[in-house]
Structure 1
Amino acid sequence: MTRTRRTHHWRGLVAVALLGAALGVLFKRPLIVLAGSVGVGFAVYPHLLTPPAVSLAVDRRLSERDPAPGETVTVTVTVTNEGDSWLSDLRLVDGVPAMLPVVDGTARHTAALRPGESTTFSYAVVAEHGAHRFRPLTAIARDLSGEYEVETEVEAVDEIECLRAPSEPPVDGATDPYPGRVLTDASGAGVEFDHTREYHPGDARSRIDWRQLAKTGSLATLEFRQERSVSVTVCIDARADAYRGQHGEPHAVSHSVAAARELLESVWDLGERAGVATLGGPDCWLPPDRGSDHADRARHLLLTHPSLSPRPPDWERTRAEDDAEPDPFDRLSARLGGNAQLFLLTPLADDEIVGFAMEQAARGQSVTVVSPDVTGGDSPGERLAAVERRNRIDRLHRGGVRVVDWDPAQRLRKSVAAARNRWQR
């Protein structure tokens, strides 16, 4: 996007020049008239120029694209003037991801570039948990007079992935050695022996227990434990209430996006199907599936979908949109299949999300809540928020909903392992 605007840098000079010329004529002072005429000339000069034509190329280099949490990443940006205009006053602002703090140097730079020339600047950021995409670099170029200003954005797609996948996702059921299947409590055709029953006419010959026939002379039929594919929906609570966190720290939605990426990758590593959904904001829904193309679409949604913006939504506009849109809880409930497993990523900021999780569990849906803990602080309001969150976790436990209480300062896999130990007691 390119915008051209006038700065009106010389507007005051025009008034002063005209006033000086008028006073010179009035008092018959030729020198004052001459000085005023020179001022008018300077004021007219910018109108004879045209805005600069800006054509830039950006090359961004990262010292590390897959850093560990807390690791410093050096970003080196090279900007080249690919146009035919001399850019005498060029100001650059790199599109640093919202959740990555700059700890050394600055993401701002100024330069004067002739056609074909380049300029380079560097800065350092600290890697935070999650996948972070750089925004376009913003360039502002002024002409020699400073009257015209051209602002443009230059895209240079780069990402920092600070991810550590859990060794095993908290998928409901025991995954057997055959990827893509989970053993059920129902019996029938399968691969694992369950029991024998009396033979019925029409039973498949392959399921007859020939050993028992040879030993006792009576027919029996083998029954095996049935299998079914796992279908996982990873849902991120992106409602306005979920955009909460400590001052200067990533908010809960950002942590949830990072956790969603890890959970999806770990489910796909098992050969299972997984999809993405959101609660709140513009509708985001990718049905569970597997495969490289599907995984690429899911990753792209997590990085770019407007409902997962790193900036909190406007409260008043959000309320108006919520009144006009279908209830997000009803919409998600209708999309979940009977055998789908729901991973609900939420800071548990209100009772509505707790009621939804317990309602789905009461319907027989497998529900696992992964809750980033962004509470803290010593103010009465912050202490109350921490107590309310703990009470909501207790309600979920009593309602039979599995909860992963995750401290974002630690790796998700550690919290998953601790929660799994509690569930197995």
Structure 2
Amino acid sequence: MAAGPSEGEGTYADLGPNETITRRTERWRGVSALALVAGAAGVLASQAALVVAGAVGVAFAALANAARPPELSLALGRSVSDADPDPGDSVTVTVDVTNTGESSLPDLRVIDGVPPALGVESGSPRLGTALRPGESATFSYEVAVARGSHAFEPALAVARDVSGTAERARRVTADATPLTCVPTLEAAGELPLRAQTTGQPGRVLTEIGGSGVAFHTTREYRPGDPLSRLDWNGLAKTGELTTVDFREERAASVVLLIDAREQAYRAPGSDAESAVERSVRAAGSLYGALTDEENRVGIAALSPEPCWLAPGVGTAHRAQAQELLATHPALASTPPEGTYYPSIRGRRLRRRLPDDAQLVVCSPLCDDGVVRLLQRFDAAGHRVTVVSPDPTDGATPGRRLAGVERRLRLSTLRSAGIPALDWRDEPLATALARAGRSA
């Protein structure tokens, strides 16, 4: 496919939707001067060929200067192969361009408005063609989809006259819904939770004696105790009737806390996922796993932008969680522009947390401030578990030092009794399985 205008799309960066600009390209700039020089040289040298060449050049330059670009009237249609893809999928974008005007377009160039967060994998979002009135042309390309709602921008169309001296540019819009990519919330493994629960039945083992499956203690028999919990072996040995208590299983109230401060937008390389992207992906997987275990789950973020979804269950709550993880501005793919005030945001989060809620924090632990914050939450009675995506590598001495500092922060949390999972360059399920074996 042909490239876009030689001056590049940046020439029309300020051109608004459905606005039109006409300009001279200066493609034949200097032709008149050269023609006059050639003609004068021909006269002085008595060379008829040079005189004729000069006259032709002057005539051509005059025609070029008098040229006007064709009227630009286009209809643009855009379709995608999948309007609701999963993160990482490839989607084919097909663009149809129709000349709805009465003028032929001998040199038409179109650049589609690809959303900034989507990368073109194959094909080209540019078209170079010629269209007679009523004719259409089609081009397509593939994009790699990232989470979020991605609206296509108006396409840039540039039409030139036959000589290429003048051009008319216009932003052309198309009726199209945004390309929306939401996390699937599929469980990627089980994360061991802390023994802080609600009064509702669930699957988190507690230190409360009662009915269950894991042995807790034996106690003196009380009238009304179920026969299934009587210790018949003890009765045979001692002649005393006792009752077996098991560790009760109850539901937990969990808030998934995503570190989305500017410090967390780090990656081991320029083409690698940032720690925030990995944290959002982990939060989606953990939401699915924890709700599958009958726990109430909410979502929050450490960010200048307030972000909060109270713990809950059910289909409607799940849809809210998907929408938040996909589109909330606090979890954008680029670092926030606002300032994060840790004391203010920390107090607001503590006021919102239910008394019986524990925290599962997804953070790369890139600074000491987040470690102190998590220690305060844990000391205040909100048990903390950390899943830490590793954004470091050993490519440079500075990065190796950052890796050492991060490992020290992991050690500090563990020494304080806070479980901290080091999520390296591996699937989350692998890291969770390792955590389960060591729990």
Question: CA 1:6 to 1:96, structure 2 compared with 1: closer, same or farther past 3 Å?
Answer: closer
Note the residue ranges of structure 2 that are not aligned, 5 or more in a row.
Answer: 1-14, 34-54, 162-166
What secondary structure does 2:408 align onto?
helix
What secondary structure does 1:180 align onto?
strand
Task: State how far apart, in whole Å, the 1-side matches of 2:287 and 2:272 are.
Answer: 24
Q: Contact 1:97 / 1:132 at 8 angstroms: preserved in 2?
A: no
What secondary structure does 2:187 align onto?
coil
Question: CA 1:170 to 1:110, structure 2 compared with 1: closer, same or farther past 3 Å?
Answer: farther
Alignment correspondent of 1:159: 181
Cα offset, 1:343, TM superposition: 0.8
Cα offset, 1:165, TM superposition: 2.9
Alignment correspondent of 1:399: 416
Question: Deviation string for 1:204-240 (max 9, x for gaps)?
Answer: x85598999xx9xx99999776654311111110000
Cα offset, 1:417, TM superposition: 1.9
Alignment correspondent of 1:24: none
Task: State how far apart, in whole Å, the 2-side matches of 1:384 and 1:5 are.
Answer: 52
What secondary structure does 1:283 align onto?
coil
Alignment correspondent of 2:23: 9
Cα offset, 1:185, TM superposition: 2.5
Of residues 306, 312, 333 in structure 2, which corresponds to 1:289? 312
What secondary structure does 2:438 align onto?
helix
Letter in 1 for 2:327: T
Residues 322-341 of structure 1 aligned to structure 2 (within 5 Å) = 322=340, 327-341=344-358
Letter in 1 for 2:295: E
Cα offset, 1:420, TM superposition: 2.8
Whether 2:433 is the aligned partner of 1:417: answer: yes
Letter in 2 for 1:383: R
Residues 7-406 of structure 1 aligned to structure 2 (within 5 Å) = 7-10=21-24, 38=63, 41-42=66-67, 45-46=68-69, 49=71, 52=73, 54-61=75-82, 74-81=90-97, 84=100, 88-95=108-115, 97=117, 102=121, 105-110=122-127, 112=129, 117=136, 119-123=138-142, 125=144, 132-133=147-148, 135-138=150-153, 139-143=155-159, 146-152=167-173, 154-159=176-181, 165-173=187-195, 180-187=202-209, 196=219, 228-245=250-267, 246-314=269-337, 318-319=338-339, 322=340, 327-406=344-423
Question: CA 1:180 to 1:79, structure 2 compared with 1: closer, same or farther past 3 Å?
Answer: farther
Task: State how far apart, in whole Å, the 1-side matches of 2:353 and 2:92 are.
Answer: 45
Question: CA 1:340 to 1:58, structure 2 compared with 1: closer, same or farther past 3 Å?
Answer: same
Question: CA 1:252 to 1:13, structure 2 compared with 1: closer, same or farther past 3 Å?
Answer: closer
Q: Contact 1:2 / 1:152 at 8 angstroms: preserved in 2?
A: no
Note the residue ranges of structure 1 that are not aligned, 5 or more in a row.
Answer: 20-29, 200-204
Q: Contact 1:74 / 1:123 at 8 angstroms: preserved in 2?
A: yes
Q: Aligned-residue CA RMSD in angstroms?
A: 4.5
Question: CA 1:118 to 1:164, structure 2 compared with 1: closer, same or farther past 3 Å?
Answer: farther
Cα offset, 1:184, TM superposition: 3.0
Task: State how far apart, in whole Å, the 1-side matches of 2:266 and 2:123 are.
Answer: 27
Question: Deviation string for 1:119-167 (max 9, x for gaps)?
Answer: 2424475x9xxx6347333422234553232154744425386986333
Q: Contact 2:183 / 2:326 at 8 angstroms: preserved in 1?
A: no
What secondary structure does 2:152 align onto?
strand
Count residues in correspondence: 380
Q: Rg larger in 1 or in 2? A: 2
Q: Contact 2:110 / 2:157 at 8 angstroms: preserved in 1?
A: yes
Cα offset, 1:380, TM superposition: 2.1
Normalised by the size of structure 2, how large is the TM-score?
A: 0.71
Task: State how far apart, in whole Å, the 1-side matches of 2:270 and 2:27 are.
Answer: 45
Cα offset, 1:275, TM superposition: 1.2
What secondary structure does 1:333 align onto?
helix
% identical equivalent positions: 29
Letter in 1 for 2:23: H
Question: CA 1:254 to 1:101, structure 2 compared with 1: closer, same or farther past 3 Å?
Answer: farther
Cα offset, 1:55, TM superposition: 4.0
Question: CA 1:185 to 1:61, structure 2 compared with 1: closer, same or farther past 3 Å?
Answer: closer
What secondary structure does 2:402 align onto?
helix
Cα offset, 1:89, TM superposition: 3.0
Question: CA 1:174 to 1:416, structure 2 compared with 1: closer, same or farther past 3 Å?
Answer: farther
Q: Contact 1:93 / 1:107 at 8 angstroms: preserved in 2?
A: no
Question: CA 1:244 to 1:371, structure 2 compared with 1: closer, same or farther past 3 Å?
Answer: same
Normalised by the size of structure 1, how large is the TM-score?
A: 0.73
Task: State how far apart, in whole Å, the 1-side matches of 2:26 and 2:229 are.
Answer: 105
Letter in 2 for 1:119: T
Question: CA 1:180 to 1:372, structure 2 compared with 1: closer, same or farther past 3 Å?
Answer: same
Alignment correspondent of 2:39: none
Task: State how far apart, in whole Å, the 1-side matches of 2:116 and 2:294 are.
Answer: 35
Question: CA 1:308 to 1:142, structure 2 compared with 1: closer, same or farther past 3 Å?
Answer: same
Task: State how far apart, in whole Å, the 1-side matches of 2:430 and 2:127 are.
Answer: 45
Question: CA 1:93 to 1:210, structure 2 compared with 1: closer, same or farther past 3 Å?
Answer: closer
Q: Contact 1:65 / 1:161 at 8 angstroms: preserved in 2?
A: no
Task: State how far apart, in whole Å, the 2-side matches of 1:60 and 1:109 are.
Answer: 18
Task: State how far apart, in whole Å, the 1-side matches of 2:312 and 2:396 are.
Answer: 45
Q: Contact 2:182 / 2:323 at 8 angstroms: preserved in 1?
A: no
Task: State how far apart, in whole Å, the 2-side matches of 1:60 and 1:309 are.
Answer: 25
What secondary structure does 2:81 align onto?
strand
